[in-house]
Amino acid sequence: MSRVGTVAAVNLSRGVVAIATDDGFTVIELVSAWVIDVGDQMNWENGTALGSEVYENQTKRSHEEVFVQDHHVSKAVLETTYSLIV
């Protein structure tokens, strides 16, 4: 099932990105120097898979392999586990 979301937070020192979805946040880890900014619209194919996946930045018209950490993450877990402030 294809998923869409909006980048809500970026922690460049940890290479971690939170993407807001309709059911919480998806957390990805950047494995390259891919430039992602808060507000970018993202698209990806699998809403449950973890590990290596290709995500598309629709705003910047680019795509890259990332490491998916988790899906359906709450705001509280973003702050405590991933050091991401939304």
Residues 9-66: tens digit of each pLDDT: 999 889 999 999 999 999 999 999 999 999 999 999 998 999 999 999 999 999 999 9
SS (H, E, C) the chain: CCEEEEEEEEECCCCEEEEEECCEEEEEEECCCCCCCCCCEEEECCCCCCEEEEEEECCCCEEEEEEEEEEEECHHHHHHHHCCCC
Residue ranges covered by each domain of the chain:
3-82
What are the φ and ψ backbone dihedral angles of 59, each rounded to 5 degrees? -65, -45
Please tell me the pTM assigned to this model: 0.95
Write down the pLDDT at residue 23.
93
Write down the pLDDT at residue 47.
87
- Mean pLDDT for the stretch of residues 59-85: 95
CA dist 42 and 84 (Å) reads 18
- Whether 67 has a pLDDT exceeding 70, the answer reads yes
